[in-house]
Amino acid sequence: MSDGRRKSASRRRVDLFRELQEKLGFLYLAASVALVLLVAGAVYFFIFYQGILPFTRYRLSLVEFLSTTWSPLGSPPQYGALAFLYGSAVVTLGAALLATPLSLGAAIFVAEIAPRWGDRILTPVLEILVGIPSVVYGYIGMRLLVPFVRDHFGGIGYSLFTGILVLTVMILPTVTSVATDALRAVPTEIKHGSYALGATRWQTISRLSLRAALPGLLTAVIFGMARAFGEALAVQMVIGNAPRFPKSLLDPGATITSIITMSMGFAAEGTLEYYVLWTLAVILLLMSALSIFVVRLLGRRRVYA
């Protein structure tokens, strides 16, 4: 019952409590990480498991899957997905080709030429563009772009080209903001070095900043492409969704995403058609995995940004 013993007892209690805190905290963090990994793993496993069935259980050949005839209810049923793969690839590349020069221009302007103005005006505008839901983009595309394309370019307005235009606007903000960050990360010292050697501002930007930030700029474009490839709703509203092989950019086409969204209601569970839709989902997953992989690879090559 001496004073010292009581103190030590209370101290011991405090120590115990602290230890408990530490343990609980760690447990909570570990549980969160485990849950995230579990969910991600489960999603991957589930999609792959379902998506592989057409080839294993139903003996669908890869050659047939890569043909152009899509007719799930035909006799015999045919599951050629090439037209959608082509459609997805064309609109993604098209949007990247149109958006990249625009975004790069905007990014150089904000990062190198008018940082104050860019921060105050351009950045908020782009953030607003990011916030617009895709259904709104699709609706604007349907009401404004479709008649515009029909009257000025020909065709019926619903086309791959219209899809490219809508996607271009949608990925502009993504590409611009990532590219801006990449350019801003180029150290001022080397720019000063460039000026000291007598280079003009334009020479500095084109031969130094752009080169130094190249991995970051490529990352920006890939992010934009990944978004374009996975976008379903807005594209579906303006592209026409014909499961045929488009002859030109002004022809209606279809993308992987639009076919999945269109067919999912009809495919009865446990049928081949149902599993083929999962296979298409696997392709989308692989594409996004590939883009992440490429981004990481570029990240390794970075010197400044």
Partner 1 sequence: MSKRIAVLLLAVVFLFGAGLAGCGGQKTSQEPAKSNQTTGTTTPSQQEPKKDELSGSITAGGATALQPLVQAAAEAFMKKHPNVKITVQGGGSGTGLSKVIEGAFDIGNSDIFCEEKKELKEQGKCNDLVDHKVAVVVMAAVANKDAGVDNLTKQQLVDIFTGKITNWKDVGGKDLKITVIGRPEGSGTRATFKKYALGGQEEKAEMQTDSSGEIKEKIASTSGAIGYLATSYVKPEDTKIVALKIDGVAPTKENVVENKYTIWAYEHMYTKGQPTGVVKAFLDYIMTDPEVQGPGGIVEKQGYIPTKDMKVERDVEGKVTPKK
Is the four-CA dihedral 221, 223, 224, 226 of positive or negative sign?
positive
CB of 19: closest distance to partner 1 in angstroms? 11
Q: Which of residues 128-147 bind partner 1 (CB under 8 A)?
A: 142, 146-147
Single-letter amino acid code for the residue at 145: L
Q: How many whole angstroms separate alpha carbon 131 and alpha carbon 181?
A: 19
8-state DSSP, 73: T
Q: How far apart are CA 166 and CA 75, in angstroms?
A: 37
With respect to partner 1, which residue has the nearer C-beta, 209 or 257?
A: 257
Select 70 or 229, whichever has its Cβ closest to partner 1: 70
Contact of 177 with 227, CB cutoff 8 Å: no
Number of residues that bind partner 1 (CB under 8 A): 41
Would you say 173 or 240 has its CB closer to partner 1?
A: 240
* Token duo for residue 98: 């149109």
| Of 225, 227, 228, 251, the residue nearest 239 (C-alpha) | 251
Contact 227, 91 (CB under 8 A): no
Q: Which stretch binds partner 1 (CB under 8 A): 25-33, 36-44, 123-131, 189-197?
A: 25-33
Task: Tell me the one-letter amino acid at 256.
Answer: I
Between 55 and 74, how does the x/- string for binding to partner 1 read (CB under 8 A)?
A: ---------------xxxxx
Instruction: Write down the residue that tokens 């809508």 correspond to.
Output: 166
Q: Using the rule CB under 8 A, give the single segment among 40-48, 83-91, 189-197, 266-274 that binds partner 1.
A: 266-274
- Closest CA relative to residue 57, chosen from 276, 280, 282: 276
Q: How far from chain centre, in Å, is Cα 287?
A: 9
Q: Which of 93, 140, 262, 298 binds partner 1 (CB under 8 A)?
A: 262
CA angle, residues 216, 221, 222, in degrees to nearest 5: 95
Please identify which residue in 87, 163, 215, 240 interacts with partner 1, judged by CB under 8 A: 240
Contact code string over 218-237 relative to partner 1, x by CB under 8 A? ------------------xx
Q: According to CB under 8 A, which one of 6, 7, 19, 21 is a site residue for partner 1?
A: 21
Of residues 145, 174, 252, 287, which one binds partner 1 by CB under 8 A? 252
Q: What is the CA radius of gyration of the chain?
A: 26
C-beta separation of 182 from 219 below 8 A: yes
Q: How far is the CB of 194 from partner 1 (least distance, A)?
A: 49
* Min CB(267)–partner 1 separation in Å: 5
Query: For partner 1, which stretch binds (CB under 8 A), given 94-102, 117-125, 170-178, 259-267?
Result: 259-267
In this complex, which beta carbon is closest to partner 1, that of residue 26 or of residue 49? Answer: 26
- Find the binding residues for partner 1 in span 268-287 (CB under 8 A): 268-274
10 part of the interface to partner 1, by CB under 8 A: no
Name the nearest CA neighbour of 60 among 256, 261, 274, 208. Answer: 274
Question: Which residues of the shown chain bind partner 1 in the complex (CB under 8 A)?
Answer: 17-18, 21, 24-25, 28, 31, 70-74, 142, 146-147, 150, 156-158, 236-237, 240-243, 252, 254, 259, 262-274
